[in-house]
Amino acid sequence: MELINKFLNEGMAWIAVILGIVLSSKYIVRKSIKIYPKYKKLLSVVNKHMKKTHILMGVLLIVVGMIHGIFSSTGLSSINIGIVCWTVAILLGINWMLRKYFNKPSMWIKYHRILTILFLLTMIFHIVDVKKQDILEFKNEIFSILYRDNKKIKHDEESTTPIKINDNYNLNDGTYQGKANGLGPNLVLNVTVKDNKIKDTEITSHNERNESYYGWPIKEISKSIIESQTLDIDAISGATYTSNGIVDAVKDALDKAKK
């Protein structure tokens, strides 16, 4: 399931990037026919093919972008650079559909080019915004290895059997607060216990950065702990520290709930 979600999020993101670049390069190909007469025949064939598939690729860009947005940690409901980029792609489609209603035939294409430039800029900013968190995560991993403070989720070295909550804890019913450090300090959550099982977890405060990274583990790690009733949960790729922090905070709360 995690692999599928990763493809629908990151895979669709890169497909959208490729589609955006190909769609935006149509103007360059068309202009290159005059600039490079030596390659006129080849460029004309490429331009003709791009013209035939331009609308289809534009629709695919919007659909793929929507799928990426749905399966990203932020979703389609929040305002971020990715949503702005996707909205500009939709505006490009609307601009093309309403081209017959412009007073001058050349006006719609001018707006189309302006929107295309805006789309490329927002796409670049979105990629940079996402990748800077990858760099920060990588730096933290290196720092942890150098100082022997690697916070990867710990597994029982002597056994491959998952540590079940009800087998290793004798818990009082109630709601208990747990605290740990994620990528940032002081990740705080409440754990509700009933009948020696975790019934609910709720993160009350944290200092994690970039919702496109911490949003997914906040949603999925707690869900996985409740469903499996174990702390042996795999970290979310790209958000190891946040994943570890949630597990450590749950363990801290369970320690307080022990009879």
User: Using one digit for the tens of pLDDT, what is the confidence trace for 35-78?
Assistant: 998 899 999 999 999 999 999 999 999 999 999 988 876 666 67
Tell me what pLDDT residue 105 has: 76
CA distance linking residue 116 with residue 113, whole number of Å: 5
CA distance linking residue 151 with residue 232, whole number of Å: 14
Residue range 221-238: average pLDDT? 86
Residue 19 has pLDDT above 90, yes or no: yes
What is the rounded end-to-end Cα distance, in angstroms, of the chain? 36
What pTM was estimated for this model as a whole? 0.58
pLDDT band per the 50, 70, 90 thresholds, residue 234: confident
Of the listed ranges 2-6, 63-67, 135-139, 249-253, the least confidently predicted one is 135-139
Residue 246 has pLDDT above 60, yes or no: yes
Q: Which of 179, 241, 167 shows the shortest CA–CA distance to 208? A: 241
Q: Which of 140, 22, 228, 104 shows the shortest CA–CA distance to 250? A: 228
Tell me what pLDDT residue 133 has: 61
Tell me what pLDDT residue 129 has: 79
Tell me what pLDDT residue 256 has: 92
Residue range 100-118: average pLDDT? 90
Tell me what pLDDT residue 154 has: 44
CA distance linking residue 57 with residue 166, whole number of Å: 52
**171: phi then psi, degrees, rounded to nearest 5:** -110, 145
Residue 85 has pLDDT above 80, yes or no: yes
Residue 109 has pLDDT above 70, yes or no: yes
**H-only helix segments in the chain:** 2-6, 12-24, 26-35, 40-71, 81-97, 107-146, 165-168, 211-228, 240-257
pLDDT digits (tens, 9 = 90+) for 113-158: 999 999 999 999 988 877 766 665 555 555 444 433 444 444 434 4
pLDDT digits (tens, 9 = 90+) for 159-213: 334 446 766 678 899 999 999 998 888 999 999 999 889 999 999 999 887 776 7
Q: Among all chains, which residue has been given the structure tokens 């990203």?
A: 72
